[in-house]
Amino acid sequence: MRRSPILSTLLAPILLAFVSTGLVSRARATDPDEQISVTRTIPDNGPFAPGELIFFEDFNIVNFSLWQPIITMSGCGSGEFQIYDKNPENIFVKDSILHIQPTLTADKYGEDFLYDGNLVLKGCTDPLYNGCNKTATGDGFILNPVISARLRTQFAFSFLYGRVEARAKLPAGDWIWPAIWMNPTKSKYGSWPQSGEVDIMESRGNRFLFDGKWVNVGNKQASATLHFGPNRQEDKWRTTAGYKNNYLGYDQDFHLFQYEWTPEQMTFSIDNEVLKVISPPKDGGMYKWGGFKGHNIWENATNPQVAPFDQFFYFIINVAVGGQRGYFNENHVNIPFDNVKPWKNSDTLEQAMLDFWNAKDKWYPTWEGTSAMQLDYIKVWAI
């Protein structure tokens, strides 16, 4: 089912507006169960004036026409432990606040099902790594032990340049991984990270997780960064990363997570405090900023100064759990010490999930009443 494009700053559903310098396009929202491979644009709605509000999602409802759910148990490229689905217990609105709530797979299907069940996900969007159909085979191979949600606007809203503000309260609970981020609508420059990724907010749910310098890197810290590079091994996200610690923890109140994106630079802020300004040089752009050697893969880009961040990007919001790609680092110290990270990133995904599940009595009590990410609104202004 297709709907006509609508732009509203107050009422849901909010459908999209593509924003660029001097051009505004719109795309039709699509039914999440409909298989769509490309975004269709309608270039008849622009341009917007600088400072004009072009997108306002205030989460009065769960609008699956705007926020298409990812449905998979593939691990999403990071070896994560959750199933992503669109269950009402994992995605719901209460008092005009969107909640993304991780729950236990055993609570939905029964604990025996983790060890001997076959799970087929209806409407699956990502079949890689047994993402759509998985069969448990006993203690050595269990099903993903957590169910959560990941939503995207890929087929309904994307934009090029603008100012983003998301007001959110982050979850607390060991090994929970919330994120508000953006991916390119089309991977013009190649596979990740060649076409870029924008992390507006990432955090870890652990209340007492520390790095080697005893800085809290758990739910008292939020970060933002860009992922970019000529290949996976040369992702230079560290050169663009910004961090802010809140001594109370980001689960205690709502905070503003902000991103300003212009044809010359990108700026990350939290609660109006600038974390990081990325101002690549006109000569060499992000390739020079990252210190890469050899051929500049973005030299012939539309805007070589900020490429690959010169294309349309869409929103993603999710709450992941665990993972094997190092976000929960082996040298992080979790207090109390008897609740150390229960899996090894070097293990197979199956072994890591089993070890994680076997430590449930340690981490699950830390989730009580605090494990949902809560989103009040997301806004985008033209620049």
Q: What is the DSSP string of 41-97?
A: EE--S-PPPTT-EEEEE--SS--TTTSEEP-B-S-TTTT--EEE---TTTEEEETTE
The helix or strand, by DSSP H or E, that contains position 113, with its residue range, turns out to be helix 111-116
Distance of CA 335 to the CA centre of its chain: 26
* Residue 112, φ and ψ in degrees, nearest 5: -60, -30
Q: Is 39 exposed, middle or buried (0-12, 13-18, 19+ CB in 10 A)?
A: buried
| Number of continuous H segments (helices) and E segments (strands) in the chain | 5, 25
The confidence score (pLDDT) of residue 135 equals 95
Half-sphere exposure (Cβ direction) of 162: Cα atoms closer than 13 Å? 31
| CB contact at 8 A, 266 and 224 | no
Q: Give the residue ranges of the chain where pLDDT is below 70.
A: 1-46
Query: What's the CA gap between 71 and 290, in Å, rounded?
Result: 34
Does residue 336 have a cis bond before it (omega within 30 degrees)? Answer: yes
The confidence score (pLDDT) of residue 45 equals 54
Query: What's the CA gap between 105 and 107, in Å, rounded?
Result: 5
The confidence score (pLDDT) of residue 5 equals 29
Q: In the numeric block, which tokens belong to residue 366? A: 């830390």
**Which residues are the active-site residues?**
197, 202
3-state SS class at 104: strand
Query: What's the CA gap between 115 and 142, in Å, rounded?
Result: 5
Half-sphere exposure (Cβ direction) of 355: Cα atoms closer than 13 Å? 18
- Which residues partner with 260 through β-bridges? 163, 267
Sorted by sequence, the CB contacts under 8 Å of residue 353 that are 6+ apart come out as 81, 142, 144, 145, 322, 343
Q: In the numeric block, which tokens belong to residue 125? A: 């969007």
* Residue 87, φ and ψ in degrees, nearest 5: -75, 145
Query: What's the CA gap between 117 and 172, in Å, rounded?
Result: 30
Q: In the numeric block, which tokens belong to residue 267? A: 């700026």
The confidence score (pLDDT) of residue 14 equals 33
Q: Domain 60-381 belongs to what topology?
A: Jelly Rolls (2.60.120)
**DSSP letter string, 170-227:** ---STTEEEEEEEEESS-TT-STTTT-EEEEEEE---TTEE-TT--B-STTEEEEEEE
Other beta carbons within 10 angstroms of residue 339's beta carbon come to: 18
The helix or strand, by DSSP H or E, that contains position 112, with its residue range, turns out to be helix 111-116
Query: What's the CA gap between 175 and 203, in Å, rounded?
Result: 10
